[in-house]
Amino acid sequence: MLHHLLLILAGIAGGFINTFAAGGSVVQLPAMIALGLHPMIANTTNHVPVLLGFLAAIWRFHRSGTMPWRDGFKISMPMVLGSLGGALTASYISDRVTGYVLLASLLLALVLMVAKPDRWLHQISEQSELTIGPLVLFLSFLVGFWAGLIVIGSGVFILLTLVLAANFRIPQANAIKVLTIGIATLLSVIVFGLKGQIAWAWAIPVSIGSISGSLIGAKLVTIQSTGKWVYMLILITLMTEIVHLGSGVFH
């Protein structure tokens, strides 16, 4: 019972962070690993609570009228292609190489967050002109590959793309984030499930918590002036992930 309770609590925290900001896997993955699941299987299993939490968030965003469906599906298409490649590549990359690549990517994301804080902290009430051109679609493909490969950091990367490159406001960017990564993660879950790389006994309790946390996060992020809280939470999760990964990679 204690084992399952801890997994549910990790799922609640991870689901909230994933939906309200990004980086909830920094809670879910270490929890599963600490409780005895192999790191590679924890990584593949983590796709299930991410998927189910995002499905719950999509429903919440739709009910609140926040989901820009047309833009979301347009950005989803290159992400789907990327996620297939990432999921198929995941089992062929060593843990150490994955660690180095992930650490470098998270450091880049942190630099981009710090370089343009005004886009997160002082957003105007009306949208700027949206820009969904070849650059945004290409970046979406890369994020999709990352989501299929590792999941960690993919929420941050798609938010950076949507806010900095496409000029979406944070509530709409979060709605598109859960839609696009949700679709990409669905394909990853299918691939990992067919390969027998998902520990369902672990995925279920984490998913129960993830659904609850995601519903709470989706409701709160639609409130005006949440940009600074989203920004701070992303910075905290990024720095936590970087410290955790750095200590493991360079150990």
Residue 86: how many CA atoms within 13 Å on its side-chain side? Answer: 31
- Asked if the model's pLDDT at residue 13 lies above 50, the reply is yes
pLDDT, greater one: 127 or 168: 168
pLDDT band at 181 (very low <50, low <70, confident <90, very high): confident
Give the residue-averaged pLDDT of 243-247: 72
Give how many domains the chain has, as a whole number: 1
Residues of the chain with pLDDT > 90: what percent?
25
Which tens digits make up the pLDDT trace of 187-214? 889 888 998 999 999 999 999 999 999 9
Domain containing 146 equals 2-249
Give the residue-averaged pLDDT of 109-127: 66
pLDDT, greater one: 28 or 152: 28
Which tens digits make up the pLDDT trace of 36-60? 988 888 888 998 999 999 999 999 9
| Predicted model pTM | 0.79
Structure confidence at residue 94 (pLDDT): 66
Closest CA to 119 of 159, 157, 153: 159
Angle between helices 170-194 and 2-20 (to 10 degrees): 130
The identity of residue 6, as a single letter, is L
